[in-house]
Amino acid sequence: MTDGTGALAGIRVLDLSRFIAGPLCCQILGDMGAEVVKIERPSGEDARKHAPFHRQHSVYTMVYNRNKYGATLDTRRPEARALLEDLVRRSDIVVENYRPGTMEAMGLPYPRLQELRPGIILVSISGFGQTGPLARRALFDAIAQATSGLMSLTGPPDGEPTLAGTYIADYIAGFHGAMGALLALLHRDRTGHGQHVDVASLDALFASLGTRPSAYAMLGEHPRRNGSRDLLTGPANVFPAADGYVYIHAGTDPLFPRLCRAIGRQDLAENERFSSVPGRMANIEELEEAVAAWTKGRPCDEIAHVLGEAGIPFGKVSEIPEVVESEQIKAREMMLDVDHPALGTLRLPGIPIKMNASPGSVRKAPPLVGEDNDHVYGRLLGRSDEEIARLKSLGVI
C-alpha cells in the first residue's frame, strides 16, 4: 500500500479507533499517503454489524476504513501487550477514541507511549474530552447534537428539535482530529517533540454553531429554530416547484433586484419596505409568498435556467440518487470505484481535498477482519509464521 506518494508518505498511523470519528480521522491521513494500521478485536469491531450490507459486509465500515491494513488483536489479553507496544514503537501517530481512562487502563498512557517512541503523537477523540465533569460519560453523535445546542436550532420553528441528516458531530470531530494530527506533526518537525491532541465531539460541534453562542453571551439573544430560512438575509429559503423543491438565496442588496426582475416582480424591488436587509427580514413572509407563487407552477429545470441566467444562487433539493449520478460529482471524482479482492467493486465517496502537487489516492480497499495479520505481525513486527499461528490459536489475534 505504501507507494511513496502523497503529502504524508513515510508517516505511519496506528488506528485504535472504531465507529466514525476516529476511523475517519485515520482514513483522511491514509488518503494523503500515510500508512495506517487498523487494530480491532478478533471478532471485528462492533460497527461491522451496522447496516447497510454489501455481500454480507457492512458498508458503514467500508466508508471509513479504506487505505488501511487491517489486523486483529485482543487488547485485553496479556500476550497482546508486547504486540501493541511494538506497533507503537513503529508508529508516528496513535489515534484512539476510547472513553477517557481506557488507554491508562491498558497500560498505555501518553507518557508510556513517549517512552516507547520518543516524539510519538497521540490523538484522542472522545465525546466530552479528556477533562471536565462529563469527561467519563459515553457519547454518540446524536447526544453531541443534543448537548451542543445544534438540535435546538434544527427543525421547523413550530416543531420538535431535529437531528441533522448525517452524523455531523462525528465527521467534524474526525476532521479536527486529522487537523490536530497534522499540526502536531508540524510541531514535531520544528521541535522534535510529540504531543497529546485532545479532541471532543462536543467541543468541535459547539465551535461550529457560528454566531449563536457569542450572540447569547454578549447580547443575551436566545436563538430559535428557523427551519430552512437563512438567519441573516432574505429571501433565502426552500421553495416548492412543480416537480420538487429548490433553495433560492437572493437576500443581499445586489441579488434581490435581480431576483425581482427574473420572476417579473420589479415592484418588490421598488418598494421601500424591501430596500434593505432589515426591511426584507421584517417582511420576510410576504416576500417568500411572492417567490413561492412564481416557483410552484414551474419545473425545477425551468427555475434553474431562469435563475442561472440572472446569476442568482440556487440549488435543486436533490435526492441522494441524483447527487451520486450528477455530472458535478463525477467531474470532481467524488464517487470512486474501488476494487476489493473478495467483495468486487465498491463504490465509495472520493477524496474532497484536491492537491495538485501531492494528491491523495485510494491505494487499498477497506480490509476484512484480520485481512492483513500476516503483513502486520510478520513483515512489520517480524514475528514468525509459527508465532503468528500460536497467537491465533490462543485467540490473541
Buried-state track 316-328, b at ≥16 Cβ within 10 A, e below 16: beeeeeeeeeeee
How far is residue 129's CA from residue 136's CA, in Å, rounded to a whole number? 8
The amino acid at 222: H
Sheet holding 35-40, edge to edge: 68-72, 35-40, 12-15, 93-96, 121-126, 196-200
Residue 244 contacts residue 257 (beta carbons within 8 Å):
no
Neighbouring C-beta atoms of residue 85, cutoff 10 Å: 16
Cell numbers for 344, please give them.
468486487
Read off the DSSP letter of residue 85: H
**Residue pair 263/241 in contact by the 8 Å Cβ criterion:** no
Clarify whether 372 is annotated catalytic.
no
Q: Of these residues, 15, 92, 141, 170, which one is catalytic?
A: 170
In three-state secondary structure terms, 188 is helix
Name the residue with cell 497521540. Answer: 122
List the one residue out of 281, 234, 225 whose CA is nearest residue 256.
234
**What is the chain's percent helix, strand, coil content, to nearest 5?**
40, 15, 45
Give the C-alpha distances (Å, rounded to integers) separating 138 from 89, 125, 196, 260, 332.
30, 12, 20, 51, 37
Closest to 80 measured CA to CA, from 386, 383, 385 = 383
- Give DSSP secondary structure letters for 58-76: EHHHHHT--SEEEEE--TT
Q: Which cell numbers in the block locate residue 254? A: 445586489
Distance linking the first and last C-alpha atoms of the chain: 22
For 359, the grid coordinates are 494528491
- Angle of helix 168-191 relative to helix 21-31, nearest 10 degrees, comes to 50
Q: How many Cβ atoms are within 10 Å of 59's Cβ, its own excluded?
A: 15
Q: How far apart are CA 98 and CA 77, in angstroms?
A: 17
Q: Are strands 93-96 and 121-126 parallel, antiparallel or unpaired?
A: parallel
Query: For the chain, what is the total number of helices (H) and then of strands (E)?
Result: 18, 13
Q: Which residues form the catalytic set?
A: 170
